[in-house]
Amino acid sequence: MAERKVSVESEVGLHARPAATFVQTAAKAPFDVTVAKAGGQPVSAKSILSVLALDVRQGESIVISAEGEGADEVLDRLAEIAAAS
Task: Please state the domain extents for the chain.
Answer: 2-83
Residues 6+ apart with CB under 8 A from 17: none
How many angstroms separate the Cα of 40 from the Cα of each of 4, 17, 29, 57? 14, 23, 23, 14
Closest CA to 22 of 73, 75, 71: 75
> Backbone phi, then psi, for 61, in 5-degree steps?
-100, 145
pLDDT of residue 84: 87
Residue 85: per-residue pLDDT: 56
Q: From its phi and psi, is residue 33 left (phi > 0), alpha (psi between -120 and 50) or beta? A: beta
Domain 2-83 has CATH 3.30.565.10: no
| Given the residues 4, 15, 37, 46, the one annotated as active site | 15
Q: Mark the ranges of the chain whose per-residue pLDDT is less than 50.
A: none
> Are the beta carbons of 14 and 74 closer than 8 angstroms?
no
Which pLDDT belongs to residue 38?
86
Q: Is 15 a catalytic residue?
A: yes
